[in-house]
Amino acid sequence: MIPGEIISAEVEKIVPGGAGMARYEGQAVFIPHTVPGERVRARVRRSHKGWAEAGLLDLAEASPRRVKPRCPLAGREGRGCGGCSLQHLDYRFQLEVKTGILRETFGRLSGIPAALRLEALENISVFPSPPWEYRNRVQLHAAGKNPVSGKAGVGFMSSSGDRAGDGAEHRVIPAADCPVADPGIRSLLASGELEAPAGRFTLYSRGGMVLREGERGRVRIRDRELLMEAGLFFQSNAVMLEALAGDLVSIAGRADSSLPLADLYCGVGTFAAFLSGRFPRTDLLEENRAALALARQNVDPGDRNFFALTDNEWVKMKEAEGPSGAPAYGFIVADPPRQGLSPPMRRWLARGPAPLLAYVSCDPATLARDSGELVKGAWELEKLIYYDFYPQTAHIEGLALFRNKHA
């Protein structure tokens, strides 16, 4: 396929990232804003060895699962916001698509024998979210001057699929609204008074409270008030965070409460705030010192140890403590960044230092990779849970629960 060529094809499925995949002359072609079963005309943007990227021109045959995007910036060819890639799908179908991607990714990348993963993959639990006005935390970028106020406007980054064919970088798409954002953020966008210092900044809003990057505030999650700072990582969907925290509390009820808890990649201590009181000691690992300082205030006083280490440094510390045949922890919660666990952390966890491990992930590919290594070691994959933290987008947040085969 040649850039600029116009093709006709039938879309087969939605792939990770949200594009529809079709085939043309034996090659895969990825077309954003399409639905499985649709016949489309598309223009090739970029050609690669064995596959291509294309932009949707028109629909020869539309799917009944297609809906009109609520946001005028969603799906605009060459001028679209990169935040929402699935607004053209009805919400129930979005859940089906993303659950299928999670299942397929595990089957393809985990390396876990089918007999050992079949039950977990066939019975994925799905927690839907309110599909609109759910997002409490957003990052905005400077987007030129507002013609009314004369101040620097704000917007969102364009999608990679909407770049020019010459490889130009992402552009900022000016925005005066965002229907997935919390009402407090929507009001600020509509006011035209927002500015983006230093090019970009973060907002957090819930229950009428709005925090700008650098500002701290307390956010109620279930029955706890957590101190957070808008510029530090904090889950962007409070409703789903409450569901996830509730499930972790339930899982902890099965753990060995005579042994300590480990909260790895703890951030501001969100999970430990709900779990630590059940265990005689809690070890919290977080490389970001600013986040760890907030964790010290969010986790109840007691026998708590806060480690400002990388995961590799943590493993070295644990190995220096010497080998032990008994589990070091009663329950381990791990919530690593998108790149997943480092090889040393995977090897340490694979030894089975606890009877139960809950692995929270924002990337099915790295979750599948890491799960494969864990199952080669001491663990059995017991359950997969999908929480739809980001409706209208292709992002998938999951929880893999592992049970120690030897505990």
Is residue 117 within 8 A of residue 111, CB to CB? The reply is no
**Predicted local confidence at residue 157, as pLDDT:** 87
Domain boundaries, the chain: 6-66, 94-130+237-404, 137-229
Look up residue 127 and give its DSSP letter.
Answer: E
Instruction: Single out the residue of 388, 337, 393 nearest to residue 159, CA to CA.
Output: 393
The model's pTM is 0.93
The predicted-structure confidence for 38-66, as pLDDT tens digits, reads as follows 999 999 999 999 999 999 999 999 999 99
**Predicted local confidence at residue 161, as pLDDT:** 46
Torsion angle of the four alpha carbons 158, 159, 162, 164, in this order, in degrees rounded to the nearest 10: 70
Residue 127, token pair as written in the block: 């927690």
Phi-psi region of 302 (alpha: psi -120 to 50; beta: other; left: phi over 0): left
Pairing of strands 137-145, 152-157: antiparallel
- Ramachandran angles phi, psi of 247, nearest 5°: -65, -40
Residue 395, token pair as written in the block: 């992002």
Phi-psi region of 115 (alpha: psi -120 to 50; beta: other; left: phi over 0): alpha
Q: At a CB cut-off of 8 Å and minimum separation 6, what does 145 contact?
A: 151, 152, 153
Strand-pairing partners, residue 360, are 399
**Predicted local confidence at residue 194, as pLDDT:** 85
**Predicted local confidence at residue 82, as pLDDT:** 83
Specify the residue for token string 């223009």. Answer: 43
**Predicted local confidence at residue 1, as pLDDT:** 83
**Predicted local confidence at residue 80, as pLDDT:** 75
CATH 3.40.50.150 fits 94-130+237-404, yes or no: yes
Q: Is 201 helix (H, G, I), strand (E, B) or coil?
A: strand
How far is residue 407's CA from residue 394's CA, in Å, rounded to a whole number?
A: 37
List per-residue pLDDT tens for the chain, 407 residues long: 899 999 999 999 999 999 999 999 999 999 999 999 999 999 999 999 999 999 999 999 999 999 999 999 987 765 678 889 999 999 999 999 999 999 999 989 998 888 888 888 889 999 999 999 999 999 999 887 665 566 668 989 887 644 333 344 568 888 999 999 999 999 999 998 888 776 788 999 999 999 999 999 999 999 999 999 999 999 999 999 999 999 999 999 999 999 999 999 999 999 999 999 999 999 999 999 999 999 999 999 899 999 999 999 999 999 998 776 678 999 999 999 999 999 999 999 999 999 999 999 999 999 999 999 999 999 999 999 999 999 999 999 999 999 999 88
What CATH number labels 6-66? 2.40.50.140
Element (DSSP H or E) covering residue 106 = helix 91-109
Element (DSSP H or E) covering residue 303 = none
- What letter represents residue 67's amino acid? V
